[in-house]
A and B are shown apart, each in its own frame.
Chain A
């Protein structure tokens, strides 16, 4: 057996530099990690685990899914009710998409507050922000596929937002929709983007992100330009990998539990003639959705584009050399304010156009998120 393996290795070595690749992988695996490497450093690899989960469960769902308006909803219902473990696979996929966003957000927050985006890792940060943008758009394209009321009208709102872009808005909206309204053409387009274009893009960019991260090593807490190579630290394999193994096992249990206890609902089939009240996008689009309400269409869209652009360019805007949390108060304050603003707008978006009870009194939260006492209309 060993002889056969050696022979195969020799055969491969004559045709491909297996040795060099093995050496690179071995060097990266045994590269010592900085002393501050913590449990927080497992968010990125957990996100990769979720990406794998999305790809595997997505492929399984594709076996039964039919991307046509007259059969999409029925095929998802078939998956949920007839296909063996279909409900579970869909649960893992739907919840996985939400967790992917959560983990990417946590990973970005960790990177931001530890100053790990600074020189020489600017490119790794930019690729990471692109990955986050793709994950958000991934969710948007996948949201339409069940072809239920919620997905249909949330996509209508989303594409209307895209249509407000200056200069190219109308053309871009048409490109997304394949017509004037959400229909069969839109479903085909979203399906192709969701199952072919974005997965390849996500895998490619993730690979680039990981290669960049491994090549430069994990950032230390030293000032920019004064970074010392970690000496005597523990290697990635097996120490950090085992740590990730612990987190993976617990996260997997959590994902399975949620998928079993709260499988995603299918709701009612999309009906273009029946607009439901107060339709809202997925939670991670809520801050944008709410922010758009306070500004005229064009200005709102431009304002919503500002945070991702600033985020992308942040390593080039923040030229300070400090990485430590306490030594860069402005940067940290901006980060905290951004998170707070996203939370506030997200909550306003969540509660807008709903009835709530506060201290035993009933209120109707209006379009702008302001709670108002419902006024009784007297009978004429």
Chain B
């Protein structure tokens, strides 16, 4: 019995020791799996017990995710738990004026930014921006990196919560540029954000959710934000409105624009409250021209022509829809109608040359195609009318049949000598 008990004890000891080993490996594994991913994260969490608010703000930050620690910006010793020793190494609140250089420390470093595919010219662009210039002149209230991107909790530009996400840009710029007091101190108007919200661009961005719609940064630039000069305006608008820009070079307004006497696109469309309506634009002609001037008259003639073309296109489109619903083969007509529509759409950018002949040429191309569609639709509508007319003899025949059945029934009842059934009265 003894050796067996000894063996049992030995087995037990072995089991216990192997259990301990397993527990140790398990513990280490758990530690390994649950350990923060980098030293930086450890450092952040060592600041966290006291700086809870900042830690919460940093929760979703791209910096925290990529291991940028509090001390990378603020200094200090992250390994120290004691407040005095932790702050001994010049812990500071970064002065506003030093923010661009501090951010540029990493963001202008090609080697550091390369893996993220981020541009590294933001600092130099900022320094040439109006914001950067004013900062250099000693204005400590001017926007720096953190005013647009936040100091803590910096998000990717792709994040809808980011202040620089396209939909949020007008609001972000508007915080300062819509602040009457702040702008007044600098001799600026604070109406731009409110005007932008009434523009076609804002309607695209906010109402249609089109994130490619222009925001403040599209025209002014983001890091190198600067108001475009009069001569450059057509180029700024021409980045998106390529055709209009090209045609505008043939306009009588082009030379005055080059000379700086005419404000290019914004002269008619205004800068922030950009409207599409020709009626609103027409009012602007009077600012420079008399009503007797041939320019405004030409404008009227051009838009009358455009309206006529649009109305014809709409009418044919409605006929096409109706015939498609009625089961007619309209695919070939639709292709032609789309061609006419494309030709018609070219008139709007084309009219920027303010040349009636160009507009006439484009409109007549659309009209010819539309006439072809109309001829084809007419044939189909004729066939549709025949279908409807066929209802007359069909109903005639069926009413006669019903009448004959009725008369026969009455005759049968009469022959049978019976009174009409009570059901007839129901």
Contact = CB atoms under 8 A, between A and B. Distances in A.
B391 A260 contact: yes
A232 interface: yes
B112 interface: no
A243 interface: yes
Contacts of B329: 77, 80-82
Given A39-B423, A245-B402, A249-B398, A261 B388 contact: yes
B391 A243 contact: no
Contacts of A35: 421-423
A76 to B, nearest CB: 10
Interface string A26-40: 000000010111111
A95 B399 CA distance: 21
Contact of A379 (B206, B401, B406, B418): B206
A246 B406 contact: yes
B408 A253 contact: no
26 contacts: A35-B423, A36-B422, A38-B421, A38-B424, A38-B426, A39-B424, A40-B426, A80-B327, A80-B329, A82-B329, A91-B327, A232-B418, A238-B412, A239-B413, A242-B406, A243-B405, A243-B409, A245-B405, A246-B402, A250-B398, A260-B387, A260-B391, A261-B388, A266-B327, A379-B170, A380-B170
A257 interface: yes
Given A38-B426, A39-B426, A81 B394 contact: no
B418 A87 contact: no
Contacts of A82: 329
Contacts of B202: 379
Given A82-B329, A380-B167, A380-B168, A260 B206 contact: no
Pairs of residues from A and B, 7 with the lowest C-beta to C-beta distance, nearest first: A38-B423, A81-B329, A87-B327, A245-B405, A242-B409, A249-B402, A253-B398
B395 interface: yes
B326 to A, nearest CB: 6
B229 to A, nearest CB: 29
Interface string A264-284: 111000000000000000000
B390 to A, nearest CB: 7
Nearest to B402: A249
Interface in A228-268: 232-234, 238-239, 242-243, 245-246, 249-250, 252-253, 256-257, 260-261, 263-266
Interface in B226-249: none
Interface of B: 167-168, 170-171, 197, 202, 206, 325-329, 387-388, 390-391, 394-395, 398-399, 401-402, 405-406, 408-409, 412-413, 416, 418, 421-424, 426
B13 to A, nearest CB: 54
Contacts of A38: 421-424, 426
A33 B409 CA distance: 15
A30 to B, nearest CB: 12
Contacts of B416: 234, 239
A50 B85 CA distance: 94
A260 B388 contact: yes
A249 B405 contact: yes
Contacts of A214: none
Nearest to B388: A260
From A232, A263, A379, residue with most partner B Cβ within 10 Å? A379
A265 B325 contact: yes
B227 to A, nearest CB: 23
Contact of B412 (A36, A242, A260, A263): A242
A66 interface: no
Interface residues on A, range: 35 or more
A73 to B, nearest CB: 13
B171 A234 contact: no
Interface of A: 33, 35-41, 77, 80-82, 86-87, 90-91, 232-234, 238-239, 242-243, 245-246, 249-250, 252-253, 256-257, 260-261, 263-266, 379-380
B426 A234 contact: no
A239 B412 contact: yes
Nearest to B401: A249
A334 to B, nearest CB: 23
A253 B399 contact: yes
Contacts of B325: 263, 265
Contact of B171 (A249, A266, A380): A380
A253 B197 contact: no
Nearest to A261: B388
B420 to A, nearest CB: 9
B391 A238 contact: no
A36 to B, nearest CB: 6
Contacts of A39: 423-424, 426
B423 A36 contact: yes
Contact of B421 (A234, A238, A249, A250): A234
A377 to B, nearest CB: 8
A209 B167 CA distance: 66
Contacts of A232: 418
Nearest to A243: B409
From B170, B390, B398, B423, residue with most partner A Cβ within 10 Å? B423
Contacts of B388: 260-261
B418 A234 contact: yes
B408 A242 contact: yes
Contacts of A265: 325
Given A90-B327, A245-B401, A253-B394, 4 more contacts: A81-B327, A242-B406, A249-B401, A265-B325
B159 to A, nearest CB: 15
Contacts of B171: 380
Contacts of A86: 327
A246 B398 contact: no
Contacts of B390: 260
Contacts of A245: 401-402, 405, 409
Contacts of A91: 327
Given A40-B426, A234-B413, A242-B409, A263 B326 contact: yes
Contacts of A256: 391, 394
